[in-house]
A and B are shown apart, each in its own frame.
Chain A
Amino acid sequence: MSFLAPLFFVGLAALAVPVIVHLIQRERKDIIEFPSLMFLRKIPYQSVERRRIHNWFLLLLRAAAMALLIAAFARPFLMRNPLQAATATAGAREVVILLDHSASMGYGDHWNRAKEAAVKAVQGLGREDQATLILFGTGTEEAVRATSDRGRLESAINDATVSSEATKFAPALRWAQSFLTRSTLPRKEVVFISDFQKTGWERQEEIHMPEGTVLTPISVAQPETSNLAVASVALQRSSFSNEERVTITAGLTNRGAAPFANVPVTLELEGRPVETKNLTVGPNASGSVTFAQVTAAQPNMRATIRAGSDSLPKDNNFHFVISPSRPVSVLVVQADGTNASPDMFLTTALSISKTPPFRLDVVPVSRLTPANFERRSVVILNDITTMSTQADATLRRFVDQGGGLFIVLADHTPWSGNDMPLMPGVPGSPVERLAKGSSGTLGFLDHSHPVFDDFKDPRNGTFTDIRFYQYRTLTPGANDRVLARFDDGAAALVERRVGDGRVIAFTSTLDPSWTNFPTKMMFPVVVPELLKYLGKYEEPSAWYTVGRMLDISVPLGAIVREGSAGDTKDATRKASAVVVSPSGKQDTMGEGGSPTIELAEQGFYSIRMQGSGDRRPYEVAVNLDPAESDLSALSPADFLGNATGQAAAVTQAGQSLERPELTPADMEKKQSFWWFLLAGAALALLSEAVLANRLSRRFGAGLLQTGR
C-alpha cells in the first residue's frame, strides 16, 4: 500500500491532541471548589468510572473517523496495477481480437499496421491461451473462433481485407462481452484494434465486460489526415425533344487541414469517362462540380464520379444509376359519342407534372379490351356508361392486382344494379346546387390522407374558391373512406381498397360543366397527386449506402413497371433473381434464396430477374457511408472511457501488448480507495453521533434508576 500524499499523515499527530486534551482536561478542567464533599463523597464513585469507559469508546470512534479522513486525504493505492495484476495471475487467457475492417481502415497504412498489431497480439498468446478473431465494421464477422492455433489466427489476419462497411464499435464490443461472459478461462482480454473514428459511437453505450476483463485499445489513427470525398450527387432532369436529359452535380468534401487544388473530377457513364473538370477544395470545406447534361437514353445506366486520389481512395468514387423517368401510364375511358381526345384540362394538368411524368391514353368504353389495361398504372372511368362484361372483369382483376382506378361520377355510372364491388359507395341522383340558390364548395378535406397531406399548410394552396354547380350523390360504404365533402355534407371524394388496388370516386366532373375546379390553380396540383397515389408511384433511388438491405420487391417492382401490369402479388412470392455483387460474387435472391440481400460492397450490384430475357439487368449503385470519410479519431483513453465508463491503460499502435507503467497518480485515480475511506469516515461519524446520544441517554437513565 502506498500513498499519493503521505504528508497528510502529519495530521495523524493531531489525533493525539484530543486524546491529550481529553486526558488532561478530564483531570484539570472545571474544578469547582466546594465547602465539603461530605455528601458528594457518599454518592458511589462507580458511576463516574463507568462514564469514563464510555467516553473512551466514543473517543476511539471519533479518532477512527479522523484517522479514516486523514487516510482518505493521503490517497492510498496499491502499487500493483490491477491491470498488471490481472495479467500476472496464473491461468489461461481468453483473448478476443476485435479488428476494425471498416472502409476508413483503408486510409494510408492503417490496415497494415492494424494487421501487424493483431499479429503481435496473436504472438503474445501462451500455450494454453485461446484467441478469437473478429472483424467488425457495421456488424461483426467471426474470422476464427476460440483457438490456440496461432497459424490459423495469423492466416486469418493475413486474409482479412478492408470492407466497405461503416464503423460501429458497440456491436463488436457487445459480441466480445457476450463471448467472454460464456468463457470458462480464468483470464479474459479484449484487444481492440481500430482507427477509433468518432463516428463509431452512435450514442453513449456502456459495455459491461465480465469482471477482470482487460480491454486494450490499440489505435492506428494518425493525428493529421487529409481526405477528399465525393459526398453526394444531385440529378436534375429535364425534357428535350422527347428525350430526358439529366444534369449531374457532384458535391465534394475536404476533411483535412490541407487544400486539394485542381483535383480532376470525372464523370463516367457505363465505365467510360464522359467529362472531366478540375476543382479546388479548401481545407475543411466543400465544393461542387456540375457536368454537361447527359441523355437518359435507357434504364439502369451505370454512372460514377471519380475525384482524384488520396490516402483513402474508396470515398473518392461515387456510384449511381441513371434511368429515364418512369411515366405513370394512365388510361382514360371515355363515354361513347364524346370526343375521343382527352379532356383539355386533364391533359394540361398531367403534362405539367415532371416527377413523375404521365402518359395518357384515351379509349371509348365500347372499345375497351383487356389489352388496354396492360402496362397501366391508373385507369380513369370518366363518366362512362356500363362496360362490357369482359372489360368489367379485366378491370376488376386490374384493380385487385394493384392497379389504380379513378371513377368520375357525373351523369352516368359504369355499373348498374347492385353488383358494384369497385364503386366506393352507392351512387344516387345528381344534385343541382344552383337550383338551391348558390353553388357548393368543399367543406371538408381529410388532410391525414397522402393526397391532401401537402395541403395542411394553407400557404400550399386553397380550395375555397372552387365552386360546384352540380354533383352526384354518393353514399359511402362502411369501409369506405371519405376524403372530401361538399359544404352540405355530401361526399365529394371517396376511397375504397379493393384487393391490392385503390379506387377513388369523384362525384363531379373533370371539365367545367359541373364545377370550376378544372379552371383553378389547384387542379393541376391535386389531380397528379391523386393519380400518383392511385398508381403507387415511388421515386426510384439512384444509389444506396453500404449496409442497406435490399428487398426483392425493389427490382421486381421496377421490372413490372417497365414490363407489364402482371400479378405483382404472386410475382413477389415467386420471383427469383441472380445478384452479382461488385466483387463478382453471385447470389440468388427471392425464391430459392433470401428475399433480401445486404448491400455490403461499394459499387454496382447487377440483378437479373428470372425470365426477363435479354433485358438489361437492374442495377443498384452502392456507396460508402459518408461518415467513413470523417477520419477524426477518439483517443484510445476516451474510447475506453466511453466504452466502460472508466479510465484504462492505453497501448499505442505498433507497441507490444505489454502494459505501460502507470504513474502512481494514475493508479490511485484508477483504484480510488479514498472514496471508501471517506465513506467509512462518514459512517464512523454518523455511528458516533447515534451511539453517543443513545449511550448518554441510557447512562443517565441507568444511574437514576439504580440510585447511583
Chain B
Amino acid sequence: MDTHAIPGARFVDPKVLARIKDLELLARTVVDGFINGLHRAPYFGASIDFAEHRGYVPGDDIRRVDWRLYARTDKYYVKEYEADTNANLSVLLDISRSMAFASQGISKLDYGSYLAACLAYLSHRQRDRVGIVTFDEDVVTYVPPSAKHFNVLLHTLDQARAVRPGRLTATVSKVAEHFKRRSIVALISDLYENPDDLIEALSLYRGIGNDLIVFHVLDPAEIEFPYSQASRFQDLESGEEVPVIPEVFAEQYRKMMQEHIQALTAKFSEVRIDYVLVNTSKPLDEALFSYLGNRERLMRVR
C-alpha cells in the first residue's frame, strides 16, 4: 500500500483538487486517501498469476502452501499471486456543452473527469481493465477497456472539452453496441433527459449483463437555483434564451428539479441501476463508495 497518501484527502474539496493538473496524481491522492480511511483493503489479493513466496504463518490456508518448496527447503512457504481480475470498467463521460457549467469554480465536466480518473485508478489498482467513452451529440472518443489503457484514459480525460451540444439517450444507445463483454459501466452525466427515455436507452446495457452505475453530476446552482435578479437565461447547449424572474420561478424550478431527481431515483431503482446524485461542491467520497459497493457486488456474483 502506498504510504504517501495524504491523510484526510477524502475530504479534499473539489475546488482544491482542481488545482492538481496531473489526473493520475489527483486520482491517487483521492483514492489512496480514501482507501486508507477504510482501514483495510478487502478487495486485494485474489489472482492466479504467481508473484512471490512468503513464510507460512498460522492461519494461512494450508491449500496455498507450496509443498514442492517445502520438499526442497523443508520450510513452509505460501504462494503469493499477482492480483488480477476479469472485470471491465467502462466510463461513459458526457462532455456536452452543459457539462461546462460552473457556478463555484469547478465545472461539472472537471468534476466528472476527476471522478472518472478516480474510478479508473481504483479499478486499475484492482487490475481491472479500464476504458472510456466520451460523447456529446455523438461519440467523441472511444477507448476500449484494457489493463493497459489507464494512461490513455487519463489522456482522454485531459483532452475532453465541452463544446458541442449533447444527445444523451441517442448516443448512449449507440455506444451500447460496443459492449460485448460484461462490464461495470459508469455513466457520468447531468442527465437532462426524460427519465423514461434514459431508462430505455440504458436498458440496452442491462440486457448484455453489464452493471450500470449512473453518476448524476449537478452543480449546486442547478439544485438550489440561487438567482435573485431578473435576467435572461441562456441554454448552454441550444443557445436559446428565456427571461426569468427568479423570485417567481425559483420555487417552481427547485420543485421540478427535485421531481426529476426523484423520478430518476425511482426508475433506476426499478431496473436495478445504481444511481448516485453527485453535487460538484461535495468531495468525491460518495461517488467512490457507490462505485466500490457496485464492485463488491459484482465480485460476489462471480
Contacts and interface: CB of A to CB of B under 8 A. Distances in A.
A28 to B, nearest CB: 8
A289 to B, nearest CB: 94
A39 interface: yes
B223 to A, nearest CB: 11
Contacts of B237: 35-36
Contacts of B234: 31-34
Most chain B Cβ neighbours within 10 Å, of A33, A34, A42, A708? A34
B164 interface: no
B232 A32 contact: yes
A703 interface: yes
A545 interface: no
B230 A39 contact: no
Contact of B233 (A40, A47, A708): A40
A39 B244 CA distance: 12
Interface in A645-702: 700
A589 B234 CA distance: 107
Given A30-B230, A37-B242, A41-B242, A704 B248 contact: yes
Contacts of A704: 248
B190 interface: yes
A183 to B, nearest CB: 65
Interface in B192-247: 192, 219, 222, 227, 229-238, 240-245, 247
A36 B236 contact: yes
B269 interface: no
A40 B192 CA distance: 12
Contact of A34 (B99, B229, B235): B235
Interface of B: 98-99, 101, 108, 190, 192, 219, 222, 227, 229-238, 240-245, 247-249, 252-253, 256-257, 260
B236 A35 contact: yes
Contacts of A35: 98-99, 101, 108, 190, 192, 219, 222, 235-237
Interface in A570-589: none
Nearest to A42: B256
A47 B236 CA distance: 23
A55 to B, nearest CB: 10
Given A33-B236, A35-B236, A43 B231 contact: no
Nearest to A41: B242
Interface string A18-33: 0000000001011111
B231 A30 contact: yes
B248 A47 contact: yes
14 contacts: A27-B232, A30-B229, A32-B231, A33-B101, A33-B234, A37-B242, A38-B192, A39-B257, A39-B260, A40-B242, A43-B244, A48-B243, A703-B245, A703-B248
A40 B244 contact: yes
A40 B255 CA distance: 11
Contact of A30 (B101, B232, B253, B260): B232
A327 to B, nearest CB: 105
Contacts of B260: 39
Q: Nearest 4 CB-CB pairs, A to B? A: A30-B231, A35-B98, A36-B192, A39-B256
Contact of A37 (B99, B101, B227, B240): B240
Chain B CB count within 10 A is highest, among A39, A41, A700, for A39
A32 B256 contact: no
Given A40-B249, A48-B243, 10 more contacts: A29-B231, A31-B231, A34-B234, A35-B222, A39-B257, A40-B253, A41-B242, A45-B243, A47-B248, A703-B245
Contacts of B240: 37, 41
Mostly, the A contact residues are mixed
Interface residues of A, number: 25
Contacts of A34: 101, 222, 233-236
A51 B219 CA distance: 30
B241 A31 contact: yes
Contacts of B238: 37
B190 A31 contact: no
Given A35-B98, A35-B192, A700-B248, A45 B232 contact: no
Nearest to B108: A35
A38 B193 CA distance: 8
Nearest to B229: A30
Contacts of A37: 233, 235, 238, 240, 242
A39 B101 contact: no
A47 B219 CA distance: 27
B233 A32 contact: yes
A285 B279 CA distance: 103
B190 A36 contact: yes
Nearest to B244: A40
Contacts of B192: 35-36, 38
A328 to B, nearest CB: 101
B23 to A, nearest CB: 23
A32 B103 CA distance: 11
- Among A27, A32, A48, A703, the most chain B Cβ lie within 10 Å of the Cβ of A32
A40 B230 CA distance: 13
A708 B248 contact: yes
A41 B237 CA distance: 14
A405 B172 CA distance: 139
Contacts of B230: 30
A32 B253 CA distance: 15
Nearest to B107: A35
Contacts of B257: 39
A261 B230 CA distance: 92
Nearest to B240: A37
Contacts of A39: 252-253, 256-257, 260
A704 B246 CA distance: 12
Contacts of B253: 39-40, 43
By CB atoms of chain A within 10 A, which of B234, B237, B248 has the most? Answer: B248
Q: Which of A36, A39, A42, A707 gathers most chain B CB within 10 Å?
A: A36
Contact of A32 (B190, B227, B248): B227
A572 to B, nearest CB: 94
B110 to A, nearest CB: 14
A707 B256 CA distance: 13
> Which of A35, A40, A47, A51 has the most C-beta atoms of chain B within 10 angstroms of its own C-beta?
A35
Given A35-B219, A39-B260, A47 B245 contact: yes
Nearest to B98: A35
Given A35-B108, A36-B192, A51 B235 contact: no
A696 to B, nearest CB: 10
Contacts of B245: 47-48, 51, 703
Nearest to A28: B232
A502 B194 CA distance: 123
Contacts of A47: 245, 248
B6 to A, nearest CB: 32
A660 to B, nearest CB: 61
A30 B108 CA distance: 22
Contacts of B98: 35-36
A708 B237 CA distance: 25
B249 A43 contact: yes
B107 to A, nearest CB: 10
Contacts of A27: 232
Contacts of B222: 34-35
B28 to A, nearest CB: 30
B232 A31 contact: yes
A29 B245 CA distance: 14
A143 B219 CA distance: 101
A37 B241 CA distance: 8
A703 to B, nearest CB: 5
A39 B242 CA distance: 11
A700 B232 contact: no
A137 B192 CA distance: 100
A36 B235 CA distance: 5
Contacts of B244: 32, 40, 43, 48
